[in-house]
């Protein structure tokens, strides 16, 4: 029967078979965050629309065309969050976190929403994991956050990942550069793709992202921001590179690196993976020293990143074995059901993973089911008592139900 309803375009269901890989990712990340002192934070899945307009920037694709915005019953404009940094900065200011010892180091994961054209690795609801260090302008903070994502990629075993690094300098220096870039693009606008040509005035940096041949040729001779950093920004960038070296984190400098959000200053970075095709970025981020001030808070330097959970899983693309079960309890007849349910409950409370038959299967069917779920032992209740079968060794013996815990977990007996 064809399904009448399907998940909305650009969204997906995460099915039980896919959960072990996702859980492994989240558990690995939780360990990495905890050992570096990044504590978790959860913000709402929707926020005032103005937060993103002001925080992410009105010239970005995200704000111009990708937000899921709606009006609530009180006629307030709300938006399903397209990203997590502006909400976290909102929470930092709202809860007076500037009074805590700085920097405040935070980590998060959850769903995000962008109305993009769906394709492999690009969805309308996706999940990010991320970290932010708020309240330090030290290059050490840049390297601290970068090392977290580097470790995550390394410990998960993502093949072929590479770190690209750039700097956007300060907002003032960037303004001068953008004027220079615009006049370069204007002078050769006939060679640009329509999309880039139309956006010269709004977002000229996007030209660096284009795959269009003509645009690429124009960009090849464009002035580069990296060549025009002022002294303080250049020093900061040099120090980030030195410290990455000291931490043995490999990187390449990418003087054409740009990001799709307006709040970045100084360091920007991106972890890409050649396995991913067009949507090649696993995760990325950078400094956003002006964002908290822009949202009405005290001037506070900050740096962070987010990575796409689905992108990481796509890059890994190897099944994680589902966890087996300690025990399957099979019953020969109705009369053993009570004993089975009593024992299953007791053993689960002692920490064993235990399943019983819920489908009224025959004995043969129950044993097949025990095999299917990877139970290491099966306990069969019959008229004579109970038989414990070791499924790997294919050995069995009569036991008292009270002995089972001790036999399966000798240390807890």
The site for ligand HAM (CB under 6 A) is made up of: 83-85, 114, 116, 121-123, 126, 128, 130, 132, 259-261, 281-286, 288, 304-308, 310-311
Query: Nearer to ligand HAM by C-beta: 281 or 390?
Result: 281
In whole angstroms, the minimum distance from the beta carbon of 68 to ligand HAM comes to 12
The smaller minimum CB distance to ligand HAM, of residues 177 and 305, is found at: 305
Nearer CB in complex with ligand HAM: 12/239: 12
Residue nearest ligand HAM (C-beta atom): 308
The least distance separating ligand HAM from the CB of residue 120, rounded to whole angstroms, comes to 10
Tell the smallest beta-carbon distance from residue 362 to ligand HAM (Å).
46
CB of 152 to ligand HAM, least distance (A): 12
With respect to ligand HAM, which residue has the nearer C-beta, 141 or 344? 141
CB of 309: closest distance to ligand HAM in angstroms?
Answer: 8
- Smaller CB separation from ligand HAM, 86 or 218: 86
CA distance 106 to 88: 9
Q: Is the Cβ of residue 306 or residue 375 nearer to ligand HAM in the bound state?
A: 306
β-sheet bridge partners, residue 47 = 79
Distance CA 63, CA 250 (A): 33
Q: Which CB sits closer to ligand HAM, 141 or 340?
A: 141
Shortest distance (Å) from residue 96 CB to ligand HAM: 21
CB of 145 to ligand HAM, least distance (A): 8
């Amino acid at each position: 029967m064809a399904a009448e309803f399907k998940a909305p375009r650009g969204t997906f269901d995460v099915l039980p078979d896919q959960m072990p890989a996702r859980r492994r990712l989240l558990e690995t990340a939780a360990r990495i965050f905890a050992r570096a002192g990044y504590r978790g934070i959860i913000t709402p899945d929707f926020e005032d629309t103005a937060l993103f307009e002001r925080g992410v920037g009105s010239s970005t694709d995200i704000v111009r065309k990708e937000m899921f915005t709606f009006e609530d019953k009180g006629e307030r404009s709300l938006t399903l969050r397209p990203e997590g940094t502006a909400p976290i900065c909102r929470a930092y200011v709202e809860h007076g976190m500037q009074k805590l010892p700085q920097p405040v180091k935070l980590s998060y994961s959850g769903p995000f929403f962008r109305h993009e054209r769906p394709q492999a690795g690009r969805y309308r609801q996706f999940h990010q994991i991320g970290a932010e260090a708020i309240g330090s302008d030290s290059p050490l903070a840049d390297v601290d956050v970068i090392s977290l994502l580097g470790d995550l990629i390394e410990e998960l075993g993502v093949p072929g990942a590479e770190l690209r690094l750039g700097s956007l300098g300060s907002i003032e220096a960037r303004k001068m550069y953008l004027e220079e870039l615009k006049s370069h693009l204007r002078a050769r606008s006939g060679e640009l793709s329509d999309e880039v040509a139309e956006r010269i005035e709004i977002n000229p940096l996007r030209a660096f992202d284009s795959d269009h041949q003509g645009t690429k040729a124009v960009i090849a001779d464009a002035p580069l921001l990296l060549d025009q950093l002022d002294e303080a920004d250049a020093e900061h960038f040099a120090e980030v590179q030195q410290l990455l070296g000291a931490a043995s984190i490999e990187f390449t400098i990418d003087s054409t690196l740009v990001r799709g959000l307006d709040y970045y200053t100084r360091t920007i970075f991106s972890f890409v993976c050649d396995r991913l095709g067009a949507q090649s970025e696993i995760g990325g981020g950078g400094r956003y020293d002006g964002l908290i001030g822009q949202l009405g808070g005290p001037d506070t330097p900050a740096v962070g990143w987010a990575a796409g959970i689905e992108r990481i899983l796509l890059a890994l693309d190897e099944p994680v074995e589902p966890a087996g079960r300690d025990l399957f309890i099979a019953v020969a007849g109705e009369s053993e059901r009570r004993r089975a349910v009593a024992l299953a409950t007791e053993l689960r409370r002692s920490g064993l993973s235990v399943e019983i038959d819920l489908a009224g299967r025959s004995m043969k069917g129950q044993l097949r089911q025990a095999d299917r779920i990877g139970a290491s032992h099966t306990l069969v209740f019959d008229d004579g008592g109970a038989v414990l079968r070791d499924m790997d060794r294919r050995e069995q013996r009569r036991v008292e139900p009270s002995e089972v815990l001790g036999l399966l977990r000798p240390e807890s007996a």
